Amino acid sequence: MSELDDALYEQVTELSQAGNVLFDAGDLDAANEKFDAAWELLPQPPTQWEAALWLLAAKADIHFAREQYAEAAAVLTRAAMCPDGLGNPILHLRMGQAQFELGDKSRAGNEFTMAYMTAGADIFEDEDPKYLDYLKTILQPPVGQDTL
């Protein structure tokens, strides 16, 4: 994995942080513009850079918030190909949610399991409880525990 030079990294980070603030404020269009601007700064091929992972994850969050679940899943698939993408619990959680909403419960269960096995139940804390509730129907609690 290559590293961006410091000046470029700072620009990408600033745009990404601005996008996160706009996302949190509910301005999805403006957030998307910031993430796109940051993406455009990445040298080719963009997926070789660590920043690509969090930019694509942010784009997937926007699609998910817009209930564009197929688009979110497509972006998450691309994010998984970035450095540190495979096995990333946040990507697995969001992919599980997208697949759940698309009706692919089997795939959702696999993704939720990966998220849980990597990060524990805490990763579900700020999410709709239906996702952890579903995981509880397919995954046994760890030995010595009564629940996930």
pLDDT confidence of residue 147: 83
Instruction: Find the distance separating the first CA and the last CA of the chain, reported in whole Å.
Output: 35
Q: How many CB atoms lie within 10 A of CB 25?
A: 10
pTM, full prediction: 0.92
The residues pairing with 2 across neighbouring beta strands, listed in sequence order, are 49
pLDDT confidence of residue 1: 56
pLDDT confidence of residue 142: 81
CA 49 to chain centre: 16
Q: Which residues contact 16 (CB under 8 A, 6 or more apart)?
A: 34, 35, 38, 51, 54, 55, 58
Upstream peptide bond of 45 is cis (omega within 30 degrees of 0): yes
d(CA 42, CA 51): 8
82 phi and psi angles, rounded to 5 deg: -80, 165
Q: Mean pLDDT by 10-residue block, N- to C-terminus, for the chain (148 residues)? A: 86 98 98 98 94 97 98 98 95 98 98 96 97 95 84
